[in-house]
Amino acid sequence: MGKDPQLEETLSKVQKYLECFHLPLEKLQEISARLKKDFNRGLGKHTHHRAAVKMLPTFVTATPDGTEKGDFLALDLGGTNFRVLHIRVNEDEQRVMKSQNCAIPQEMMVGTGEQLFDHIAACLGEFVNSQDLKGQTLPLGFTFSFPCEQKEIDKSILIRWTKGFNCSGVEGEDVVKLLKEAIHRRGDYDIGSVAMVNDTVGTMMSCGYKDQSCEIGMIIGTGTNACYMEELKNVKRVEGMEVKEGENRRMCINTEWGGFGDDGALKDILTEYDEEVDRTSINPGIHTFEKMISGMYLGEIVRLVLVKLTQEKLLFNGETSKALLTPGTFETRFISEIEKEDKGVENTKKILADLGLTSNAVDLHIVRLICDTISSRSARLCAAALATIVNRIRVNRKLDHLKTTVGVDGAVYRKHPNFSEELQDMVRRLAPQCDINFIVSEDGSGKGAAMVTAVAQRTVCLCGTRY
């Protein structure tokens, strides 16, 4: 390809349309600098109420030291599936003894909170029964992957729903209380103490068992977010946790970086396609950064670009299809399939045919270019945000050089053929004084919830404080 002048012209026109997605290194540095300011605002005593990046305290003040043990139940709610797990933690492993997936029907994701929690309590009840755990009242780690203002480890107020959930009567309420009430309404089993965990925290904690320098957790899946260990003296928004001079206490902060840009801070890089995705979402104006990055939205951005270029007669001979014009039909997993090294072309043909589109070799090339542009922007934006965290940890600790580990999970990071590579390369360029190791977490949020509960119990045993 490339010698035919007409083809050259088409490709250069396509490139022009895609320019708005390109983020050079200097722009990423600028974005990272803006996020750095937002981190300070989110942590500040007088500024956090209005901050776009919430920097939520998690009350997790220690990472695993390898001595934790016991049996735990874990609940994992955050995507379209809900999981219940029985986890055994001992000296050398965290083992999933048994787990069960329960689907959350679409109507339930936007129904009442009571329905949702009754469903959760029913799935948990069924699991406890089938595993003969009824009489044991095991401690429970609840991974609830939405922004929550945590008051204590077992008191967590939902700030707002994200990722397609919108159940009534839950925002502003204590999620632990809603879960316990639903269990009591049934009255056929009970649970022990509860620890609330965001999935990023679960991921960090489950990796922290293997690698004790793991102090960052990152998710790039249906949604995106990260947490990290912050110096407690910088967490000004938590009252009553004064730190004495010279003390190095830390607390894990759930950044909720998905909200970056909700105050207009990313206006200069938003494209018309991002604006359309936001406008047609169930939560316009919320989680701007997440909508440029995560699996819930990437496919839809690609679809909108495909529609635009077809209307401009640069694709499919100018002919759209009913499927292509229907929101949500271009799934994010298609991007990974199209960008695969070996089977990419074959996959593209099939995906386009299934969408009722007739394509030639040039179309296949352009569709791949679009997918690559959108996934690459996502990886670069994540890199900028992660660089903000590692640079911050290095400065916090007054180090010339920081060696650290990030625990990662999420389908976009795991399944895309070169997302992780692009993210890692870029973060190294944006944080040259940091040496970062990435560990993909297996069953991270479930196991991590058990770990948080286990660490909380260990710290209770050691110092007698309530967690």
Minimum distance, C-beta of residue 347 to ligand BGC, in the bound complex (Å)? 27
Minimum distance, C-beta of residue 408 to ligand BGC, in the bound complex (Å)? 11
Question: Does residue number 446 form part of the binding site for ligand BGC (CB under 6 A)?
Answer: no
Please confirm, yes or no, whether 155 is among the known catalytic residues: no
Number of residues forming the site for ligand BGC (CB under 6 A): 17
Contacts (CB under 6 A) with ligand BGC, residues 120-149: 145-147
Alpha helical stretches, state H, 74-198 = 106-109, 113-130, 175-186
Minimum distance, C-beta of residue 217 to ligand BGC, in the bound complex (Å)? 9
Question: Does residue number 409 form part of the binding site for ligand BGC (CB under 6 A)?
Answer: no
Extract the tokens encoding 187: 């009255």
Neighbours of 164 (CB within 10 A): 16
Nearer to ligand BGC, 147 or 261 (CB): 147
Question: Does residue number 290 form part of the binding site for ligand BGC (CB under 6 A)?
Answer: yes
Question: What one-character DSSP code corresponds to residue 357?
Answer: -
In whole angstroms, what is the distance from residue 315 CA to residue 307 CA? 9
Neighbours of 327 (CB within 10 A): 11
One of 57, 64, 125, 223 touching ligand BGC (CB under 6 A):
223
Q: Please tell me which residue in 38, 54, 154, 163 is annotated as part of the active site.
A: 163
Considering only CA atoms, which of 137, 21, 31, 80 is closest in space to residue 388? 31
Stretch that binds ligand BGC, among 107-115, 221-229, 272-280, 393-401 (CB under 6 A): 221-229
Residue 364 belongs to what H/E stretch?
helix 361-396
Nearer to ligand BGC, 219 or 408 (CB): 219
| Contact call for residues 71 and 163 (beta carbons, < 8 A) | no
Considering only CA atoms, which of 31, 432, 26 is closest in space to residue 257? 31
Inter-CA distances, 73 with 89, 179, 198, 313, Å:
11, 14, 16, 55
| Contact call for residues 262 and 287 (beta carbons, < 8 A) | yes
Minimum distance, C-beta of residue 256 to ligand BGC, in the bound complex (Å)? 6
One of 68, 154, 199, 262 touching ligand BGC (CB under 6 A):
199
Question: Does residue number 332 form part of the binding site for ligand BGC (CB under 6 A)?
Answer: no
In whole angstroms, what is the distance from residue 11 CA to residue 362 CA? 9
Question: Does residue number 198 form part of the binding site for ligand BGC (CB under 6 A)?
Answer: yes
Nearer to ligand BGC, 441 or 459 (CB): 441
The DSSP-derived string for 40-62 is: HHHH-TTTGGG-SS--EE-----
One of 42, 57, 78, 448 touching ligand BGC (CB under 6 A):
78
Question: What one-character DSSP code corresponds to residue 168?
Answer: B
| Contact call for residues 330 and 302 (beta carbons, < 8 A) | yes
Question: Does residue number 225 form part of the binding site for ligand BGC (CB under 6 A)?
Answer: yes
**Residue 88, SS3 per DSSP:** strand
Minimum distance, C-beta of residue 221 to ligand BGC, in the bound complex (Å)? 6
Nearer to ligand BGC, 147 or 299 (CB): 147
Please confirm, yes or no, whether 342 is among the known catalytic residues: no
Nearer to ligand BGC, 163 or 392 (CB): 163
Binding footprint of ligand BGC on the chain (CB under 6 A): 78, 145-147, 162-163, 198-200, 219, 221, 223-225, 256, 258, 290
Which residues participate in catalysis according to the annotation?
163, 199
